[in-house]
Every structure is written in structure tokens, then in C-alpha cells.
Structure 1
């Protein structure tokens, strides 16, 4: 993985160059040999042509020897050029694969605060679009950079050996072209950065709108969405066309300079031949060198664009790699330490929580305190906005918490890495995420990576499916438990998704199981059956059930009643019916709803 000290583009570039140092070193050697052979072959051609101007019968052996040397050098150059491309281009692919792994590993360690500032669309654009630029940077960009350096250093030297004056004349159009080219080069750097940000914006909007496609259709928001996408797409098109205009009108100036250079060689060279200052072989070699000099100039504009794009992409990638990771999240408990804390009591002491950058002065949670001993069942009741989900996210340590408020045994949960804490606590949310895989695979995902040191009684697949009241549904599917559920579980109903998520949590056991309003999409009978299974069979595990339905909580050992972030009452079901007016009112309303539902079904 990328070292944590790589805080700059230079460090990042050096890290991956060093990782592929052997391949790059061989590539440099082979690139140099290719360029050396390229400038040596015209000398062989010069010698051979000059032999043709003399006595051919006398020079015949030397002439054949020269031809064979040209053929041999050309064949060797083909082999070496192939090797140079292999060792020069492959590191780009290796860097691409490694960087994707590094980025995903880093994203997996970053907390909620980072993801709230950088939405999924932007991150997807960085991992897909920007890494492509980095691959080209470390692949063809690196190879062609050294190819150009060697070509522009060796070729002029050999040209100078033939005719210093003609070489100086040839440099005039090149110097003039570079002065003009610099303006385009500087502007390109700015435009590539703008294009990168435009791509990220477009990707953000696409992911955002695709996630809410059902709402867009039902609320007839199609025209507005199309307008928003069109505006983002137009910005991307404008900056891309601007880049293309520079590439078409300014960058080719180097190619035009090369054509002027050829005219100078032919014009001045012919005069020098007439004056016997150059031979036909020498002017032929000089023309060959001009062609070799043309190739790097023709590719220089494209390679510099690749390097600019790569540098802009590196800057974007650094926003992820340089994001601060909580040092605690890098810690890992040993199996012995995990066993030592297993089956402890969860204690919450005077917990208050206010969302960062929130406009509300009052905290979302206010002085929450309770204890949950191992094997006990806790219910949390509250209406929308009472703070139930915020409390669950604090118990999960998905939120950045102050120390001294939530303890597991004697240890503050903020001293655990989130990786270790989530071995102790498993949470099922009301909006479960399902992968486009089979039912069985969605249940067993992650179970192989869980060290089950605290509960040896792991349930089987069939048991978890039955406990989640999903068996009758599975039996009706054509492929039963091997049925593909589709992206985000699109092939399942809301209730089936929730029950499948319950089965997933039950399959990989933990000390504490939290159900965050996961029974909202099932009917009362299914809810009763699920809760009965959980209460009867999860004997050794603690259970927290968060719901706005009292029927899901009435068998809990203790029920907390939340209102506007505060606990207004606590106790068992019958006690709360007597002592808490809010609880009693909610119970009566829900009983009437239940009765009406049963009557409508009848």
C-alpha cells in the first residue's frame, strides 16, 4: 500500500517509480540503444552511398558489407524497440492497478466526515477518469519522454558532426516554434485541470440523479434534470473544444518548423554539394537525421498533453490519499484481546451529539444514558426526528465521537478501531444495500473475514433464512436461494430486502445486534414472527431494536422513549403504558391501525 508519508505529487511519483525501478531502468537502457542505433544507421547509409559514387567493382566487398550491417542493425533495433515498449509501457498498467487498490483501501478507512464532503460521483470520476491519465503518465508519458530526450540530444550531435553551419540554420525555425509553443503549453495546463473538475461535476450529477430516478419520474422532474445534465455537459464540451483548438492550431507549430527545416536542408545542402563542402552520402544522412528529429517534435505536443493530464490527475488523486485517517482505525486487536472484551456490558453515559456544521444550536442527542448487559434486549421508540438513527450511528461509531461517553466493559469505544468495533456490533438499517448477486451470496458476504471468537454457535444459511421469515419467499423463487437479486436488490420487495439483511446479520454473529427500524416494510404478523425468533434464539447476544412500532418492542427487557433527542421515559412495556402518556397514545394509535389493517385483509 502507498506509504502514509506521500503527501506531495513528487513523493507519489517517486513512490511508484521506485516500485517499478527495474522495469524503468531496463526501459531507459533499451530506449537509449534504439536511439543510438537510429543515429548510427544513417552513417552506414552515408558510407554505402559514397561507395556507390566511386569504382563499384573495386568497392563491391565493402558495399555488400555495408548493406549487411544496415540490415543487421535494423533487425537488432526492431527487437530492442519491442523490449523498450514492453518495459516502458507495462509499469503504467501496474501503477493503475496498484493505485486503484491504494485508493480503495484509503477510502475504506476514511470516516463519514470525508464522504459527506466528497460524494460518490466525484470519487468515481477520480478512480475511473483521473487514474487513466495517471496510467498514461507512468506508461507512454515516461517512455516517450526519454525517447524524446535521447532523440533530441543524440541526433543534433550527429548532425553537427556532418555540418555545424547547416545544423545552426536548422535550429532557427525550431527556436521560433518553441517560443510560440510555450504559450499553448501553459494554457493547456489550466484547461486540463478545468476539464478534470468538469468531469467530476458531471459524474456527481449522474450518480445523484440515477440514485433518485424513481422520484424524478414520479414527480415529473425530467425536464429539469435534463437541463442540469445538459449544462454540466456543455461546460465539459466547452473546455474540451478549447483544448482541441490549442492542439490543432498551436501545438502543430513544431511540425511546421520541422517542414521548414527540411526545406533549409535541401536548399542549403544542394549549394554545399555544388561547392564540394558535402558529399551526396552526407546530405542523405543529414536528411535522415531531420526525419528522426521530426518524430520527437511531432509527438512532443501529444506527450506534453499526457504529462499535463497526468499531473492534473495526480493532484486530484491526492485529495483522497492525503485525507486524514484516524490513527485509531489502523489498530487491530489480537484474538486474545477480542476474547477478553467479549460479552461485556455496553454503557452510554451522558452522550450528547451535534452534527458538524449544523445550523441548529441544540444538539441532536441530549444527555443519553443507559446500560445494556450481555444477552439483554433493549428497545428504542421515537417518532421521526427524535434522534434514533443518530444514536445508532453513535453506537456504531460511524460518527466522530468525543471520548468518555460510550464504553464497552471498561474500555471507551473510541479507543477501538472501527474495524474491531464492528466485529462486536452488527447493524441492520432500514435501507439495506444488496449486491447484484445471489441470495446466498448476499447473506454470506464478509463472513469468511470475520474472526468469530465470541460466539461459536454460528447459524447455518437455512436457519438464518428461516429466522428472518424469508423461507416461504425463497421457496417460491425459481432458483430459490441461488436467485440473483439484481442491483441494490431491485428484484425484491422492500420487506424482502429488509428480511434478507436480517439474515445477513444473523449469519455472521456478533456480541450486539442492532435493528434500526428494519421492520417498517413488513406486516404486523411477519414482524411478530421475526421478533419471536430473535427473542427465543439469540440467547447469548444483546439486541437493540429501534422502531416507531411498539409491537416490535413490547417484549424487550427495557424500552427507551426518545423525543427531540432526549429520553423522556424508560421501562418495560406494561410500566410505560401506565407511566408515559406519549407511549400510551402511540400504542393506542398503532393498535387502531393494526385492527384496521386486519379488517381490510379480511
Structure 2
């Protein structure tokens, strides 16, 4: 609990002047609220007096009450603006921090947490924190101020009657507190179920084509229905507790009014109260019931919000691979590839693997070189390039950028010199132009858009789209073919120049003529200082200076294309098969 309170204070302190203004406005709101019954009392008592003596004062009191009512509207609205705005700013800031933190995590985190779970945390959990820092703080301050001033005013009028009013409040509060303890248990369970449901929903929607192909609608519906039913059951348990607690709180005002009318009415009969004082006391009782009702909402919000804070803290407290590393200076980034990249007995084992995916890999990439990497499926090609581009982090002393060890560099510093076009192409639900220019805002240099469209063999197809570069590609590029998506992804890499361009099987979905054109534009025309090309196509590998053949995570052979025809059975076999066809 202490860490959660520190978390709230840390984020609210940044906007302390907003909250200070809001608290002052709330104090004025409560003061005006308890002042109005004073004038109501005086006005009613004047009505019992002589007309000549009280007519002018009566009109004055009415004007004062009207003025106070208008002031109440203004200060109450101001208090909500000054408290709700920073809560929204905290929400925006937290979502930014969460996104940056999640972006820094490696493959191990996303293997353990589904996309739906992550989205649920960003949306639902942070919304709970916003409610605490907004409505929660407003209600807490309102309750403290109301339960200070209102009972004081009631005590001034009738101390004994005030004590009578406190008894039902204490009883109801104890019942509510017990109910909230049970409700928080089901809130935890519900949020876990919601995360699982979000994960399965996104998974099934993303794999909709597979569900259709295998005709497994029943399985998908059953899985969603199972989690949905569980979510419903847990939600109904929360609703059941709330439906018992909330009527108690909402009817507290009516209970107090009956009590005040009973005891206060006897006071009036005994001439210990005037009609005006009884009316004022009933108004105070109504004011007293409001913060008690608000207390129920505050407890609910804080129970849900604390669960959200716990979930968010789990992510923010997790150490990313680059958290303890300082970014290198801009001038040093340009020198990272000055002497190329060197791998010395590089080995890598995935966090959930029981044997190395890569083992004893040693070679160098010099500026100006074109390196080819080939091998059977599962040989470790993608794992190797993910070590080169900083997605996977091998141990110290295995990978060097110039004289710097990769373990001392931040991933984003590595990726300023190394860009990857992966075989798993991803396009954003945006225009073709925005997809190509994505991530180039902070780049040191940008190429011409029309030029990279031409070099990626996409100019003719782009011209056929009615909206040209403004054409929307749809969710994950669903409006385009596999080859079109690959070429847009290639254009994205070419748009921002880099020292090392890594192409992971980018020619697999294009025809032979397009492949020849791309080889000429990318390989022969020096699209980057150095190229690393992963491919099993001999027409591509023949254009490289040096080829690495991988087998079960090890280098089976390496050398020039001619040398490999003598050294590597795998290279010789694929060359023979492709030349025959």
C-alpha cells in the first residue's frame, strides 16, 4: 500500500498547483454549501415574524441565497476542472511511459504476456489510476471538508441530535467496509479474466483466415464464450455486492431526514427549536449524507485503482535491457560502423530454450561488403540477424560494433546504423506514404520518396492505385498482396539511409523479373554501406561477396559463392536444383 501511495504522490506532485487550486475551490464549495442553510433558517424564521419588521430583510436574504447558489455553481465547476484536467494529463503521461517501457522489452516479455493482456493494462488499468487521481481525490477532499464543517454546524444547532445522526452513519460505514473487502477480491479476478479475454479476442481476430480455412468456428466461439461467461459471473458478483451497498449509502440521507424530523420535531414542539432551525438542520443532514454516499464510490474507485497501480507498477518496475545504459553521443554513432561489425564465438540461447539457437559464430562485416546468409529452415538465420540489429542481446565479448561491445550499447543506438526488412512484414493501418516514412522524423537524412518507390519496384503498382501514395493499406496491409507489402517495407528501409541494411528473405514473394530489378537497385547500386541478405535463392547469393551457411545454429561453411560450390553440400544442392528449374 505504501508503494502505491508513493506512486500516486509522485504523479500528482507534478501538477500540485492544479490540485491546490482545485482544493481551494472545493473548500469554497463546501463553505457556500453550509452557509446557504443559515440564510434559509433566518428567512423562514422571518416569515413567522411581523410583515413590517421583516419584509426588507426577507428580500435581502433571498438575494443572498440566490447569489450563493450561483457562486456554488461556479466554484463547484471550477473545482472539477482543476482536478479532472491533471488526472487526464497523468493518464496521458502514464500511457506514454508504458509505451516507452514496453517498447524497450525483449522477446522474453512478449512471449510471457499476450497482446490482449498488454492492451488491457494500458487501457483499463490506467483508467483506474485516472479515476483515483481525478474523481477519487476530489471526493476525498470533499468528504474531509464536508465531514468537518457540516457536523460543526449541526453541533452548534443541536449537539444531542448530532450524536443520534452519527450512529446510523457508523453502522452503515462498517457494513460498506466489509462489502468492499469482498468486492476487491472479485475485482482482481475480473481484471485477470478481462486480460485473458482481450488476448483471445485479438488472437482470434488476427487469425480469422485460419479459423475460416479450418472451419473451427465452434472452437473459437467456445473459447471466447468460456472467458466471457467467467467475466460475466465475476461482474455479477461485484454487482451483487454493490447493489446491496449502494442502496444503503443512497438511502442514508432519507434515514437521517426521518431521524431529524422525529427528534427535531419534538424539539420544535418543546420550543427548543424554531421551524427555521429544523429546516436548516434537515438541509445539513442532506449535506452530510452526500459525502457518505461519495465514500462508497471512493472505496470502489480506490479498490479498482489500486489493482491497476499494482499492474502498471509491475511493468514500470521491470528492468529493460537498456535501462542502465546511457545513450552515446550523436558524433559517436557515426563511428560505430567505421571499422565494421565483428562476431567472436557468438552463442545465444533463448530464455525458454534448452539448447543454443546459435553457437560459436565468428565472422566480420566490413564497410562496403555484401554478406549472404543461407541455410535450411530453423538453421538460426533470423536469430543471427536479430543479434546484429539489437533485438536479441548476446553476452559480453561476443559482438562488437567497431571497438564497442554490443552489450554496452543501447538497442536504439545499434538500430541507428542497422535497419532490418524482416520476412514478417508489418504495415500500419495508414496510407502507403505514411508507412514508407514511418520512423523517419528524427533521422539524420532522408531519401526522396519517389526515388525509393522506384528502387523498391513499386512505382508502376502505385500509379495504378486511384489515390496513389494516399491509398490506405488496411489493418496490417490486408488490402495488399504479400509481394506489395514486402516492397513497401523495403521502401521504408531505403527511405532512411543507414550503414547496414539487413534483408531477411525479402525476395521470396516477388517474381523473377522483380527480383532481378531489386537485386540491381539494392545490391548493385549500394542501397547502404553494407548489406546482409538472408536468402536461399542462388540468383541473390551470387551477388554477395561472402556467404555464411548455417546448420543447426553453427557455421557449416563460409566463403565466396565459388568457394562454397566446392565446400558446402547444401549450397551445391540448392544451386543445382534452382539452375535445373
TM-score, normalised with respect to structure 1? 0.92
CA distances 1:421-470 after superposition (whole Å, capped 9, x unpaired): 10111111011111222222222222231124xxxxx6422222222222
Q: Does 1:434 align with 2:427?
A: yes
| 1:69-468 aligned within 5 A | 69-327=64-322, 330-358=325-353, 360=354, 362-452=355-445, 459-468=447-456
Q: Tell me the distance in 1 between the aligned counterparts of 2:104 and 2:569.
A: 44
Choose 558-567 or 577-586, whichever is displaced more: 577-586
Cross-structure match for 1:598: none
Q: CA deviation at 1:330?
A: 4.9
- Determine the C-alpha separation between the residues in 2 that align with 1:168 and 1:11: 36
Partners of 1:516 and 1:545 within 8 A in 2: yes
- Is the 1:23–1:88 Cα contact (8 Å) retained in structure 2? yes
Q: Deviations over 1:543-600 (max 9, x none)?
A: 11111222221121111111111111112222222232222122222333xx2xxxxx
Aligned CA-pair RMSD: 1.9
Match of 1:600 in 2: none
Cross-structure match for 2:498: 510
Q: Does 1:523 align with 2:519?
A: no
Deviation at 1:329, TM superposition (A): 6.8
Residue ranges of structure 1 left out of the alignment (5+ in a row): 1-5, 453-457, 596-602
CA shift for structure 1 position 322: 1.1
Question: Where does structure 2 lack aligned partners over 5 or more consecutive residues?
Answer: none
Aligned to 1:555: 543
Change (3 A) 1:480 1:255: closer
Q: Which moved more, 1:382-391 or 1:496-505?
A: 496-505
Q: Secondary structure at the match of 1:106?
A: helix
The residue that corresponds to 1:455 in the other structure is none
- Note the alpha carbon deviations across 1:36-68, whole angstroms, 9 max, x for none: 121122122212222222223223333333223
Q: Which residue of structure 2 lines up, in the alignment, with residue 57 of structure 1?
A: 52
1-side partners of 2:26 and 2:470: how far apart? 54
Q: What is the alpha-carbon distance in structure 2 between the residues aligned to residue 485 and residue 461 of structure 1?
A: 17
Give the match's secondary structure for 2:416. helix
How far apart, in 1, do the equivalents of 2:298 and 2:170 lie? Answer: 19
Secondary structure class of the residue paired with 2:246: coil
Is the contact between residue 329 and residue 418 of structure 1 (CA under 8 Å) also seen in structure 2?
no
CA distance in 2, matches of 1:329, 1:396: 19
1:532 — aligned with what? 520
Query: d(CA) in 2 for partners of 1:111 and 1:350?
Result: 22
- Render the CA deviation track for 1:233-282: whole Å, top value 9, x for unaligned: 11111111111111111232233343222222112222221111111111
Residues 1:82 and 1:588: Cα distance change in structure 2 (over 3 Å) = same
How much does 1:532 deviate?
Answer: 2.3
The alignment partner of 2:460 has SS state of helix
CA distance in 2, matches of 1:471, 1:521: 17
Give the Cα–Cα distance (whole angstroms) in 1 for the partners of residues 357 and 262 of structure 2. 84
Cα gap change, 1:229 to 1:403, in 2 (>3 Å): same
1:541 is the counterpart of 2:529: yes
Q: Identify the range of structure 1 (559-568 vs 546-555) with the bigger mean alpha-carbon deviation.
A: 546-555
* Partners of 2:322 and 2:411 within 8 A in 1: no
Q: Deviations over 1:521-548 (max 9, x none)?
A: 1123322321122222107611111112
Distance 1:139 1:551 in 2: 63
CA contact (8 A) 1:397 1:414 kept: no
Distance 1:30 1:524 in 2: 73
Q: Provide the C-alpha distance between the structure 2 equivalents of 1:63 and 1:580, rounded to a whole number of angstroms.
A: 107
Q: What is the aligned partner in structure 2 of residue 577 from structure 1?
A: 565
Structure 1 residues 169 and 535: alpha-carbon distance in aligned structure 2, compared to 1, 3 A threshold: closer
Residues 588 and 7 (structure 1), Cα distance of their counterparts in 2 relative to 1, 3 Å cut:
farther
1:30/1:408 Cα in 2 relative to 1: closer, same or farther (>3 Å)?
same
Provide closer, same or farther for how the CA distance between residues 513 and 584 of structure 1 changes in structure 2, counting only shifts above 3 A: same
Question: Structure 1 117/566 Cα, relative in aligned 2: closer, same or farther at 3 Å?
Answer: same
Residue 559 of structure 1 aligns to a residue whose secondary structure is strand
Secondary structure in structure 2 of the residue aligned to 1:576: helix
The farther-off stretch of 381-390 and 208-217 is 208-217
CA distance in 2, matches of 1:203, 1:404: 41
Secondary structure of 2:345's counterpart equals: strand
Count of residue pairs brought into register by the alignment: 581
- CA, structure 1 residues 566+422, in 2 after alignment: closer, same or farther (shift >3 Å)? same
TM-score (structure 2 length as normaliser)? 0.96
Question: Is residue 191–residue 239 contact of structure 1 (8 Å, CA) maintained in 2?
Answer: yes
Worse-superposed segment, 100-109 or 385-394: 100-109
* Moved >6 Å (runs of 4+): none
How far does residue 94 in structure 1 lie from its aligned partner after superposition? 1.5
Q: Is the 8 A contact 1:151 1:293 kept in 2?
A: yes
- 2:420 and 2:191 map into 1 onto residues whose CA distance is 37
**CA 514–272 in structure 1, closer or farther in 2 if over 3 Å, else same:** same
C-alpha contact (below 8 Å) 2:370/2:544 kept by paired residues:
yes
Could you give the per-residue CA deviations for residues 361-409 of structure 1, whole angstroms, max 9, x where no partner exists?
x311111111111101111111111011111111112113101111122
Aligned residue in 2 for 1:17: 12
Q: CA deviation at 1:7?
A: 10
Equivalent position of 2:483 in the other structure: 495
SS of residue matched to 1:386: coil
The farther-off stretch of 397-406 and 326-335 is: 326-335
Q: 2:458 aligns with which of 458, 467, 470?
A: 470
Change (3 A) 1:324 1:467: same
CA 1:484 to 1:65, structure 2 compared with 1: closer, same or farther past 3 Å? closer
